[in-house]
């Protein structure tokens, strides 16, 4: 159940476009940029009492610099850190905030700034369950909030893993659009068909692969690497014939060739996880 909104004020620290998007949705008591010295008095006054402090700096170097200069102000507060970084950086930040008697919740906003506040926007959190529960009503304004557990590094790990999926998918889309553009096919004309295919067939395949991955068993009863490989060769050939960059299709082809060479030729495409683990 979503918690009641806390009585304590919300402060957003950060001056980038993501921080400003957060502030627009959260309507905080104060938005403060570490470079805005003239607002220091307001920050000190606001943080004289318990507050929810939402951090969204450009990077962890900026976060460290801000803490080096203003650590005392944040001691004992509820901290939600939406600064992008690695799991190790999030864990190091959690340790530093713990030493300040602050309660730390790390978060990852899996969207562009314009998507902040949409109900379908995915936002994941890990770290202090207390901070998440106490401020869930506020965090829900940013998007669909999911708590992943007490390890402060988990949200950042999800972030990079899902960014991998997004970039790989979007790179595939761009390659598809580039191939079809050689036949003067407009992207807007084929994209509706592609998104229907994604939301139906491809989603079903992903769900099936999830089961195979968790079981560690990759049956090739419906598709298998030796069946897929010639089709990948066709993709490379068409790209070459049309004068296009072949690095992406060759990457898929090479991973599949390694899987076949490793003895997974009769296994499903999901068996390539073994190549990825040991590559």
CATH number of the CATH domain containing 76: 3.40.50.720
Give the domain extent around 56. Answer: 10-151
Per-residue pLDDT for 30 more than 80?
yes
* Residue 269 phi, psi (nearest 5): -60, -30
Q: Is 3's pLDDT higher than 60?
A: no
**pLDDT tens digits along 215-232:** 999 999 999 999 999 999
Together in a domain, 34 and 130: yes
Inform me whether the pLDDT recorded for 91 exceeds 80. yes
| Contacts with 113 (C-beta within 8 Å, 6 or more apart), sequence order | 17, 18, 20, 21
Element (H, E) at 32: strand 30-32
| 68 φ/ψ angles, rounded to the nearest 5 degrees | -60, -30
Condensed to tens digits (0 to 9), the pLDDT of residues 159-176 reads 999 999 999 999 999 999
The total number of structural domains that make up the chain = 2
Same structural domain, 36 and 141: yes
Residue 162 lies in a domain: no
Which of 151, 171, 206 marks a domain boundary? 151
Burial 189-215 (b: 16+ CB within 10 A, else e): eeeeebeeeeeeeeeeeeeebeebeee
3-state secondary structure at position 44? helix
Does residue 259 form part of some domain?
yes
Q: Is the same domain home to 19 and 147?
A: yes
In a domain, 267, yes or no: yes
In percent, the amount of the chain with pLDDT more than 70 equals 95
Token pair for 45: 């006054």
Residues 31 and 137 in one domain: yes
- Residue 3 inside a domain? The answer is no
Band the pLDDT of 208: cuts 50, 70, 90. very high
Out of 34-43, 46-55, 237-246, least confident range: 34-43
**Chain centroid offset of residue 257 CA:** 30
Same-domain pairing of 14 and 100: yes
Establish if 157 belongs to a structural domain: no
| Residue 251 CB neighbour total at 10 angstroms | 12
Residue 65: band (very low, low, confident or very high) from pLDDT cuts 50, 70, 90: very high
Same-domain pairing of 146 and 32? yes
Residue 203 falls inside a structural domain: yes
Q: Are 201 and 137 found together in one domain?
A: no
pLDDT of residue 187: 98
Note whether residue 121 is domain-resident: yes
Same domain, 81 and 204: no
Would you state the pLDDT for residue 39?
64
Domain C-terminal end among 129, 151, 173: 151
C-alpha span between 244 and 236 (Å, rounded):
9
Question: What pLDDT score was predicted for residue 5?
Answer: 47
- Tell me: do 211 and 272 sit in the same domain: yes
How much is the average pLDDT of 32-60?
85
Identify whether residues 147 and 191 lie together within a single domain. Answer: no
Question: Of 128, 151, 174, which marks where a domain is finished?
Answer: 151
| 1 has pLDDT over 50 | no
Higher-confidence position of 37 and 11: 11
Pair 48, 145 in one domain: yes
The pLDDT, as a whole number, for residue 279 is: 55
User: Residue 194 sits in a domain of what CATH number?
Assistant: 1.10.1040.10
Provide the mean pLDDT of the chain.
94
Specify if 161 maps to a domain. Answer: no
pLDDT digits (tens, 9 = 90+) for 101-128: 999 999 999 989 999 999 999 999 999 9
Q: Are residues 29 and 122 in the same domain?
A: yes
């Amino acid at each position: 159940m979503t918690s009641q909104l806390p009585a304590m004020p919300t402060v957003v620290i950060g001056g980038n476009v993501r921080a400003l998007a957060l502030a627009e949705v959260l309507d905080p008591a104060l938005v403060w940029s570490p470079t805005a010295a003239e607002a220091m008095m307001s920050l000190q006054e606001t943080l004289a009492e318990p507050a929810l402090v939402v951090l969204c700096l450009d990077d962890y170097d900026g976060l460290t610099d801000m803490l080096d200069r203003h650590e005392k102000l944040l001691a004992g507060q509820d901290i939600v850190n939406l600064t992008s970084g690695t799991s190790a950086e999030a864990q190091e930040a959690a340790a530093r905030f713990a030493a300040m008697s602050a309660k730390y919740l790390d978060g990852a906003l899996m969207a562009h700034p314009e998507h902040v506040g949409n109900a379908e926007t995915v936002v994941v959190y890990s770290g202090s369950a207390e901070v998440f529960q106490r401020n869930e009503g506020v965090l829900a304004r940013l998007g669909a909030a999911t708590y992943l557990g007490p390890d402060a590094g988990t949200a950042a790990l999800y972030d990079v893993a899902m960014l991998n999926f997004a970039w790989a998918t979007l790179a595939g889309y761009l390659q598809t659009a580039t191939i079809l553009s050689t036949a003067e096919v407009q992207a807007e004309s084929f994209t509706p068909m592609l998104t229907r295919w994604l939301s139906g067939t491809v989603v079903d395949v992903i769900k099936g692969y999830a089961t195979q991955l968790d079981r560690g068993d990759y049956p090739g009863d419906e598709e298998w690497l030796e069946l897929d490989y010639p089709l990948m060769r066709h993709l490379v050939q068409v790209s070459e014939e049309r004068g296009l960059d072949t690095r992406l299709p060759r990457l898929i082809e090479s991973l599949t060739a390694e899987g076949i060479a490793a003895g997974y030729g009769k296994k499903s495409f999901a068996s390539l996880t073994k190549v990825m683990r040991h590559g």
